[in-house]
């Protein structure tokens, strides 16, 4: 049990660090004590500095090390469904399904079924023997007419049971932190080939609510946000069997900054820009293949490394990139990296995937996700399959890391259930 609790604390370490960063401002009398704690827990601050000549953070050995982007509410960027989870997390340009609510709701306007729902359960950290951390996602849509579609989703992320302790290691009791998001979307065809969507959402993170740390009351972090999406689908080839090219793009989680205390500096949520394409090749009446490519980037301020002159230029003991106004931080994120254009390109994430369908009933999927070594170093292959019969479908996905960076979903089987109620109604007519 001791090792399980230790691993669980490792998993939520980011959240604890975020809470402590808020407390630094709220309780300046304890700044140096907490700052020493952070130095002890954040190893990348230890004996590392910014090397202007090489354009990266270097450690004691002179090697470049990670400068990962940091946001609050990172659960909003977790791919919730097994279909995209098997395609390297790609999703903005796939064929319509209920899980488009997460990736790009503009896809819903091209849905063939009148109504459909999906439910996904994603176990978390099962490699560590933890069985009470999971992500649950429920989504669905309803076509209003041939041009308009509405959708909705609910995301719930349980962090299990956490043993809280103060800076001195004293027991503060047990809590059950959780996070959730609820959203509603409107998608409309602008032409026979183009659609657009608007999604409104509310998100809340309750990690240590109603607890006091360093004399500061911890509150849930709450925010309202929006997603904007577009989707384009066109038939390719003037003769013979039709192929299709789909292009999608979305800005997701465009919302206000959040804090876990009433007096702390607020942090950016993971606003993200994604652009992708999907080329569907239909070989005959039974066999088809989708080839998918997606590029994404977090639209948040680039992290300024500790020790850089711009880390705290106003000397108020708060990192300046955290203090940027909302829209300055979002739209300035394409040119604010201290490493210049080279570092900006390092912040791009790539997803590639292939999806083979037989008779539109059996699917086999594979994909790959790549993130630069200095910006998180997530690299993994994904595999999956799907079966669809009548109104019912099931998708499975499996993630295989390709480096030493451990994924919470490593070697874990995820599954999604899809119910096409429109097909059921059509069958009964």
Q: Read off the pLDDT of residues 153-162 as tens digits, 9 standing for 90 and up.
A: 999 999 888 8
Q: How many domains, in total, are found in the chain?
A: 1
For the beta carbon of residue 23, count every other beta carbon within 10 angstroms. Answer: 22
Short-list 207, 208, 201, 204, CA closest to 180? 204
Measured between alpha carbons, how far is 223 from 182 in angstroms, rounded to an integer?
11
Kindly give, in sequence order, each residue whose CB lies less than 8 Å from that of residue 286, ignoring residues fewer than 6 positions away: 358, 359
Mind listing the pLDDT tens digit for each residue in 28-81? Answer: 333 333 333 333 333 334 445 667 677 677 776 777 878 889 899 999 999 999
Measured between alpha carbons, how far is 235 from 243 in angstroms, rounded to an integer?
6
Please state the length of the chain. Answer: 429
Mind listing the pLDDT tens digit for each residue in 393-403? Answer: 999 999 988 88
Measured between alpha carbons, how far is 222 from 240 in angstroms, rounded to an integer?
53
- 300 three-class SS: coil
Domain housing 402: 2-428
Q: What is the CATH number of the domain that holds 336?
A: 2.40.160.40
Short-list 176, 153, 173, 157, CA closest to 165? 173
Q: What is the pLDDT of residue 309?
A: 78
Q: What is the pLDDT of residue 361?
A: 94
Poorest-confidence range of 165-174, 260-269, 349-358?
165-174
pLDDT at 283 over 80: yes
Mean pLDDT of 280-295: 94
Mind listing the pLDDT tens digit for each residue in 314-361? Answer: 888 888 898 999 999 999 999 998 888 888 999 999 999 999 999 999
- pTM more than 0.75: yes
Inter-residue contact 351 to 87 (CB < 8 Å): yes
Q: What is the pLDDT of residue 41?
A: 36
Q: State residue 109 phi and psi, 5-degree precision.
A: -65, -20
DSSP secondary structure, 410-424, as one string: BT-EEEEEEEEHHHH
Q: What is the pLDDT of residue 267?
A: 93
pLDDT at 21 over 70: no
């Amino acid at each position: 049990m001791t090792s399980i609790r230790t691993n669980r604390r490792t998993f939520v370490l980011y959240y604890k660090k975020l809470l402590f960063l808020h407390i630094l401002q709220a309780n300046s009398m304890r700044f140096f004590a907490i700052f020493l704690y952070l130095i002890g827990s954040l190893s990348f601050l230890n004996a590392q500095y910014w090397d202007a000549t090489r354009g990266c953070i270097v450690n004691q050995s002179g090697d470049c090390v990670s400068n990962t982007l940091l946001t609050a509410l990172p659960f909003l960027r977790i791919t919730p469904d097994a279909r995209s989870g098997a395609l390297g997390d790609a999703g903005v340009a796939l064929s319509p399904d209920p899980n488009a609510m997460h990736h790009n709701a503009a896809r819903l306007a091209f849905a063939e079924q009148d109504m459909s729902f999906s439910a996904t359960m994603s176990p978390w950290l099962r490699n560590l023997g933890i069985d009470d951390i999971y992500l649950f996602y429920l989504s669905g849509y309803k076509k209003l007419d041939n041009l308009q579609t509405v959708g909705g989703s609910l995301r719930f992320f349980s962090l299990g049971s956490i043993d809280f302790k103060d800076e001195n290691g004293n027991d503060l009791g047990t809590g059950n932190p959780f996070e959730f998001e609820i959203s509603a979307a409107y998608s409309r065809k602008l032409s026979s080939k183009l659609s657009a969507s608007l999604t409104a959402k509310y998100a809340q993170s309750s990690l240590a609510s109603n607890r006091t740390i360093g004399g500061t009351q911890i509150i849930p972090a709450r925010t309202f946000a929006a997603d904007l999406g577009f989707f384009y689908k066109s038939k390719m080839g003037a003769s013979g069997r039709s192929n299709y090219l789909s292009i999608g793009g979305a800005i997701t989680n465009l919302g206000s900054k959040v804090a876990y205390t009433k007096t702390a500096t607020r942090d950016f949520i993971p606003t993200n820009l994604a652009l992708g394409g999907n080329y569907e090749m239909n070989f005959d009446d039974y066999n088809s293949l989708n080839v998918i490519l997606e590029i994404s980037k977090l639209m948040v301020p680039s992290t300024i490394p500790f020790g850089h002159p711009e880390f705290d230029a106003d000397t108020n003991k708060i990192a300046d990139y955290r203090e940027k106004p909302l829209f300055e931080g979002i739209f300035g994120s394409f040119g604010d990296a201290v490493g210049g254009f080279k570092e900006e390109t390092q912040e791009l994430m790539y997803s590639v995937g292939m999806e083979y369908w037989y008779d539109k009933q059996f699917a086999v999927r594979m994909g790959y996700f790549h993130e630069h070594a200095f910006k998180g170093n997530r690299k993994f292959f994904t595999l999956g399959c799907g079966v669809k019969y009548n109104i019912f479908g099931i998708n499975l996905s499996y993630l295989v890391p390709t480096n030493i960076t451990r994924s919470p979903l490593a070697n874990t089987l995820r599954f999604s259930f899809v119910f096409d109620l429109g097909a059921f109604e059509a069958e009964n007519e």
